Structure 1
Amino acid sequence: MPDNAPSAHTDASLSTPFDELMNAAPDSKLMRSQAQQIEADARMRASEHLERAREKAQRIIDAVTAQADTVLRDAEDRTRQLRWQQHQLTSFMAEVKEMIRPDGVSAQPPSSEWEPSEYRDAAAGADIAPTGDGAAEHA
C-alpha cells in the first residue's frame, strides 16, 4: 500500500453516515437529489415557522408596551389630579382656619408651651393645675 493512499480510517472519519448511504446506493445521484430537496423543504418550512414566531412575538411585545404606556399615562394623570385636590384642600383648610380665628388674635406661635393669658390667670386663682397632656386637674 503506498504511503500517500488514504486509509480506511481516514475515509471513515471524513464521511458521514448519510454520505456512506449515498455512495453505497446504486442510484446515488437520484437519492442525493431527493435528500437535498427534502433538506431544502425542511429549511424553508423552518424559516417560515421562525418568521411567524418572530411576528407573533413582536405583536405581543407591542401589545404589552402599549398597555404599559396607557397604564403609566393614567397613573400620571391620577397623580396630578390628586396633587391638585390636595392643594385645593390645603388652601381651603387654611382659609377656614383664618375665618375661625377671632378678630384681633394672631396665629398661635409654634411653641407647644403657648398658653393664653386668661387661662394662666384662671389657673392661678383656682386650685386647677394643667397636666402634661393639655388637660387640667384640681390641685
Structure 2
Amino acid sequence: METDLEAELRHEASGDENTATGTQQREQVQRFIKQHRRKEETNATTGKLMEGKDEDTGMWFKVKIIQEGNSRVNVHWMNYSKHYDSWIETSLIRPIKPKFAEGDMVSARYNVTYRTMYPATVVAVDGDKVFLRYEVGLEKKIHQRYVEKRN
C-alpha cells in the first residue's frame, strides 16, 4: 500500500521520462521508498530496545539498536559484553513482545525499593515499561519486572 509520501515522491519523479535526470530521479525515489518501507516494517530506531535473532542458535535475545544501515542494524546484545556487538539483517529483529496489555489487572510495586505490591490497572505499555493506574488513584510508569498479573 502506497503512503502519501510515496505517492508525492513518485509524482515528482515522473517528470520527463526520456532524460537521464528523470531516470536518475526515479531510481533515487525507488531507493528511498525501499529504505523507508524497510524502516517501517522493522520500526528500528537507534537506541530502541528490540529482540534480535541469533543466527547460530536460532534464539531471540534482547538487543539495543546502536546504528542503522541500509538493510542491516548494528546491535548490542543486552547482558553481554560489547565484544559481541554485531551487524545483523533487519529481518532478524522484531519488537519486544509485551508481558502485559492495556486493561490488565496487576499487582505492582510503587516504590521499587520496597517489596510491597499494590493493586493497579495497566493504562499503556511502552516496550519493557508499563504505565499503571493504582487503585488509590496514583499513576506511574514502572519497569515490568516489578509488575505481576493478578489472579
TM normalised by structure 1 equals 0.25
* Greater strand share, structure number: 2
Is the radius of gyration larger for structure 1 or structure 2? Answer: 1
Higher helix share goes to which structure?
1
TM-score by length of 2: 0.23
